[in-house]
Amino acid sequence: MKKKDSFRAFPLAAITGHSLLKLSLLLSAVDPSLGGVVIAGGRGTGKSVLARGLHSLIPPIEVIDNESILEKLRDNKTSLRPISRNLDPTKPEEWDENIHELIANMFGDDYLNQIENIPKKIIQAPFIQVPIGITEDRLVGSIDVAASLNTGEQVFQPGILAEAHRGVLYVDDINLLDDGIVNLILEATGREQNNIERDGLSLSHPCRSLLIATYNPEEGALRDHVLDRFAIVLSADQSIDNDQRVEITKSVLSHAENNIKFSEKWSDESDNLSTQLILARQWLNDVKITEEQITYLVNEALRGGVEGHRSELFAVKVAKANAALRGDENVNSDDLKVAVRLVILPRAMQIPPEDEDIQPPPPEDQNPPPPQSSNEESEPESNENENDQEQEQQEDNSEGDEDATSEIPEEFILDPEACMVDPDLLLFSSAKSKAGNSGSRSVILSQSRGRYVRPLIPKGKVERIAVDATLRAAAPYQKSRRLKNPGKTIIIEENDFRAKLLQKKAGALVIFLVDASGSMALNRMQSAKGAVIRLLTEAYENRDEVALIPFRGNQAEVLLPPTRSITAAKRRLETMPCGGGSPLAHGLTQSAKVAKNALSTGDIGQVIVVGITDGRGNVPLGISLGQVENENEDENVNLKQEVLDIAAKYPMLGIKLLVIDTERKFIASGFGKELAEAAKGKYVQLPKATDKTIAAMALNAINEF
């Protein structure tokens, strides 16, 4: 099929550098069941260019012509519609039930014997990009409202997952997608099948697509389990010299000026890669890997401390795909090295210990070393003979087996001094360390504000009507309703109405409740102020807010109301009085009021109160509220119970409490631990709590609570 001349993607062969990424993309195209490729990198590093460059190499595909089938069956007035897209006419086992029934209506019950007569067409392999704001309906598919209204029956409208079958499914900024959407994509592509169980539908269709995802780590980390589901995770941030930067600039300008002429310039290299890809796909099923080679890959994963079994499974597939790309039916040591480098090494969590006893199994054709002579006098002569034999063997091998390589590498790759880590590799350990800064944030569900997630049956007044779901619910009953009301086209009844369930990301509010009384108050306040500024640097990305409430004298004061502004925080924190009594009860009460107001706005999903105190409170709540002190009461008992009673109400209000005990004694004499237990929170004893430590503890509390 002739390609369109309107625009041509930047050829993969013309991309400067990125040798590992280009190899990884080719391997994933050879075997789409690998699990896909993730490309991480900063802005303007060529992530999307690499993905589209690979798509230009994928050959056209032959598919069943759904439109021709429906056109030929138009007189039959059938309501069936194909569920799948881009189906292979030579693989009936992948067809959905509707396709089987439609083709049976055309050719009869023996239609499987007439596959060559089925309407077909050749199309370019699809390249489908997932938009950031995609809904679940558009992704997995939903009821076709217009067709359902016309036929009076439920008609399925395929989604993006169906359109990407046998092509490329490209997910840009995967870290910014909704977690539920990402899970659906991984589930469907991992099973190579999309199962739809929604809106009264129970369907499935094949989804065997090459998954390529990109993201910028500066805009947020990617969850660990998402990274692990991809076979290869690499970085597009490469070290290039001045000449390479000039070459990249000239190539981009040349392509922008005339992309057709630029593509023709690289047509030979692109055709060679495309031909190599086609042949590799044909050879892949015949590639063999030995048990010893699989053992080698497993040992490498164990030596690197890799978690789970996906690493060795992906490594085996990568090794076989690399062998097919070379045009060989047997995996050799070079293929194993590629598999370890692309799959196992990025996942390695430790440097293997040096162990002289661990040796890889030798290749099957390796000759045993010659026995050593026990006669000391014959050593010089034997050494000369051995050297002569080695030279002869090397000459013979160089003549006949120049390209031959052993089946297994001579040494383990994951050795402390075997090789340096390639800078292009994005280590999973590094990704995990960055993920701790972002974590997972909660979401808020409502019927007033947010992104449309799914419809629901309303209970009471409907604030926002889900028009699509309402029409889908009413569509199957239109024929019968039109008989009763012939003058109306679309008839909606009260039971058909569906409401919109909306979802938006919710940040967290961290309230620092700091004891500003006593001799150590200044240190505690300085640490708390530093922690506030540290958390505010990440507040914009995660929609988090920070507040500060010091308590001293007889009352607690909201010194810093909930904010995400670093400027406002610094201005408020410049002056802060210390010393006096310790009104802990009033501090807990003030924190609860601030938390309740924040939760009522709908923008905050959770509140963490970080109490930085030694647990000693000596001012009753009544005095803080202006009441007269009763001198006859047992202050110690009442004060302690009063504080515990207030803390016990935190879980009912949806507030989490983290107590950081700053008392310096080995055994704390305060009741900070009891305070945390009463609030069903967490207790940590940190006599020397720095701002960095407090900020880290607060972030962990957000992610773990």
**Distance (Å, rounded) from C-alpha 34 to C-alpha 612?**
49
Greatest mean pLDDT among 1-15, 99-113, 350-364 lies in: 99-113
- Which pLDDT value is given to residue 473? 81
Q: Are residues 485 and 522 in the same domain?
A: no
- The DSSP secondary structure of 145-185, one letter per residue, reads HHHHHHHSS--EEE-HHHHTTTSEEEEETGGGS-HHHHHHH
695 and 626, same structural domain?
yes
Of 457, 479, 504, which marks where a domain is finished? 504
Does residue 528 sit in the same domain as residue 667? Answer: yes
Query: When comparing pLDDT for 670 and 298, which is higher?
Result: 298
H/E stretch holding 548 reads strand 545-552
In a domain, 135, yes or no: no
- CB atoms under 10 Å from CB of 8, counted, come to 19
202: left (phi over 0), alpha (psi -120 to 50) or beta: beta
Q: What is the pLDDT of residue 7?
A: 66
Confidence of residue 425 (pLDDT cuts 50, 70, 90): low
- Label residues 282-315 b or e (16+ Cβ within 10 Å = b): ebbeebebeeebbebbbbbbebbebeeebbbbbb
- Which helix H or strand E contains 212, and what residues bound it? strand 210-215
Co-location of 659 and 537 in the same domain: yes
pLDDT-derived band at 453 (thresholds 50, 70, 90) equals confident
Residue 488 and residue 610 share a domain: no
One domain, residues 605 and 690: yes
Range of the domain at 566: 507-704
In sequence order, what E strands does 59-209 have? 61-64, 120-123, 127-130, 141-143, 156-158, 168-172, 193-198, 201-206
CATH number of the domain encompassing residue 627: 3.40.50.410
- Check whether 429 has a pLDDT greater than 50: no
Residues 550 and 467 in one domain: no
Directed axis angle between helix 691-704 and helix 521-536, to 10°? 60
Q: How far apart are CA 165 and CA 205, in angstroms?
A: 9
Evaluate whether residue 536 is within a structural domain.
yes
Same domain, 638 and 547: yes
Question: Is there a contact between 194 and 207 (Cβ–Cβ < 8 Å)?
Answer: yes
Q: What is the pLDDT of residue 666?
A: 45
The residues near 376 (Cβ < 8 Å, ≥ 6 apart) are none
Residues 6+ apart with CB under 8 A from 36: 28, 189, 210, 211, 212, 213, 230, 231, 232
Average pLDDT of the residues in 42-69: 84
Q: Is the pLDDT assigned to residue 438 strictly greater than 60?
A: no
The whole-number pLDDT of residue 332 equals 87
Q: Which run of H or E residues covers position 561?
A: strand 560-563
- Name which residue leads in pLDDT, 5 or 76: 76
Q: Where is pLDDT greater, at 300 or 438?
A: 300
Residue reference for tokens 């923008």: 603
Among 46-55, 308-317, 363-372, 662-671, which stretch is predicted with the lowest mean pLDDT? 363-372
How many domains does one find in the chain? 3
Q: Is 566 found in the same domain as 485?
A: no
Residue % of the chain over a pLDDT of 70: 74
Average confidence (pLDDT) over 392-404: 47
Confidence (pLDDT) at 170? 92
Q: Which residue reads 């989490």 in tokens?
A: 656
Mean pLDDT across 463-482: 79
Which of 435, 470, 504 is at the close of a domain? 504
Distance CA 418, CA 399 (A): 30
Question: Which pLDDT score is estimated for 694?
Answer: 73
Give the count of beta carbons closer than 10 Å to the beta carbon of residue 105: 15
Mean pLDDT of all residues in 381-396: 49
For residue 110, what are the contacts with CB-CB under 8 A and spacing of at least 6?
none
What mean pLDDT comes out for the span 88-107? Answer: 84
Quick one: pLDDT band at residue 104, thresholds 50, 70, 90? confident
Has residue 628 been placed in a domain? yes
Lowest mean pLDDT among 16-30, 233-247, 591-605: 233-247
Of 412-416, 465-469, 669-673, the poorest mean pLDDT is in 412-416
- 692: Cβ–Cβ under 8 A, 6 or more apart, which residues? 530, 531, 534
Distance in angstroms (rounded) separating the CA atoms of residues 104 and 358: 61
Contact 475, 143 (CB under 8 A): yes
Residues 452 and 515 in one domain: no
Which range among 101-105, 279-283, 404-408, 455-459 shows the weakest confidence by mean pLDDT?
A: 404-408
| Residue type, position 55, single letter | H
> At 591, is the pLDDT very low, low, confident or very high (cuts 50, 70, 90)?
very high
Banded model confidence at residue 588, pLDDT cuts 50, 70, 90: very high
Domain-embedded: residue 698 = yes
Which tops the pLDDT comparison, 696 or 337?
337
pLDDT of residue 593 exceeding 90, the answer is yes
Neighbours of 392 (CB within 10 A): 10
pLDDT-based confidence at 436, cuts 50/70/90? very low
298 falls within a domain? no
Helix, strand, or coil here: 299?
helix
- Span 238-290, pLDDT tens digits: 666 677 778 878 878 877 877 788 877 877 887 888 888 888 888 888 889 88
Nearest CA-CA partner of 509 in 434, 448, 597, 576: 597
Last residue of a domain, one of 77, 108, 123: 123
Return d(Cα 511, Cα 604) in angstroms, integer: 12
Do residues 491 and 610 share a domain? no
- Residue 343 DSSP code: I
Rg (CA), the chain: 33
| 371 in any annotated domain | no
Question: If you average pLDDT over every residue of the chain, what do you get?
Answer: 76
473 and 602, same domain (yes or no): no
332 neighbors 365 (Cβ within 8 angstroms)? no
pLDDT of residue 442: 59
Largest Cα–Cα distance of the chain, in whole Å? 116
635 DSSP 8-state letter: H
pLDDT band at 427 (very low <50, low <70, confident <90, very high): very low
Answer whether residue 541 shows pLDDT above 80.
no
Check if the beta carbon of residue 426 is closer than 8 Å to that of residue 237.
Answer: no
Q: Is the pLDDT of residue 368 over 60?
A: no
Amino acid 416: pLDDT: 45
pLDDT greater than 60 at residue 520: no
* Mean pLDDT confidence for 223-240: 80
Confidence of residue 636 (pLDDT cuts 50, 70, 90): very low
Angle at CA of residue 642, ends 638 and 646, nearest 5°: 175
